């Protein structure tokens, strides 16, 4: 069974305290509700021998590597969202990086932008991706677009293991697409 899945990777995107917890600095309202489904997706991936890639945001304490439109969230002496080493940058409770998993740090929406993700996945023989995490119109969508442009096939989004700030935004990001529990591009 493992051979069937050896060319697939599960990307778990931005499931960090600052995005998921009630007091998170970048709270995604729908984030907490999907945690059990993300845990389930990770468990199933591991059972099937699918490579699990933890894609996380980690920023410089001063926000020097943050998008310009977010720089105001960082100031001297105060850790901004997902600052490296902060509690907010840690994975939410229930999600754990295990031996054999891979952690990738990003500083922009797409997991592919200015990272070595594509090179790593190709080295691992990965041809298809399954996507979970937050937030649908930003990091999920940009990562999916880049994956399709880089010829990963198929790219599957587990709809009930992804979330946005509101259900309408989540649904709007999928407008005109399959409304099932997963979508394949």
Longest dimension (CA), the chain: 52
**What phi, psi does 84 have (nearest 5°)?**
-50, 130
pLDDT digits (tens, 9 = 90+) for 49-88: 999 999 999 999 999 999 999 999 998 888 899 999 999 9
Q: What is the pTM of this model?
A: 0.91
Separation of alpha carbons 18 and 160, rounded Å:
20
Separation of alpha carbons 56 and 104, rounded Å:
6
pLDDT digits (tens, 9 = 90+) for 110-150: 999 999 999 999 999 999 999 999 998 899 999 999 999 99
pLDDT digits (tens, 9 = 90+) for 16-46: 999 999 999 999 999 999 999 999 999 999 9
Active site residues: 14, 106, 139
Buried b (16+ CB within 10 A) or exposed e, 111-138: bbeebebbeebeeeebebbbbbbbbbeb
Residue whose entry in the numeric block shows the structure tokens 């960090």: 16
Q: The tokens of 28 are what?
A: 């995604």
CB 33 within 8 A of CB 163: yes
Express the helix, strand and coil content of the chain in percent, nearest 5 each.
Answer: 35, 25, 45
């Amino acid at each position: 069974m493992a051979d069937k899945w050896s060319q697939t990777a599960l990307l778990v995107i931005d499931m960090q305290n600052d995005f998921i917890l009630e007091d998170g600095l970048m709270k995604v309202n729908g984030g907490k509700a999907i945690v059990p489904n993300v845990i389930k997706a990770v468990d199933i991936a591991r059972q099937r021998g699918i490579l699990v890639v933890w894609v996380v945001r980690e920023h410089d304490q001063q926000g020097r590597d943050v998008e310009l439109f977010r720089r105001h969230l960082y100031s001297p002496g105060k850790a901004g969202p997902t600052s490296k080493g902060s509690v907010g940058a840690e994975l939410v409770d229930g999600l754990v990086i295990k031996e054999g998993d891979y952690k990738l740090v990003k500083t922009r929406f797409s997991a592919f932008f200015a990272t070595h993700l594509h090179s790593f996945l190709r080295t691992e023989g990965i041809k298809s991706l399954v996507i979970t995490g937050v937030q649908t119109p930003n990091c999920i969508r940009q990562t999916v677009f880049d994956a399709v442009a880089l010829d990963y096939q198929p790219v599957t989004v587990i709809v009930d293991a992804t979330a946005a700030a509101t259900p309408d935004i989540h649904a709007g990001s999928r407008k005109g697409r399959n409304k099932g529990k997963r979508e394949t591009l």
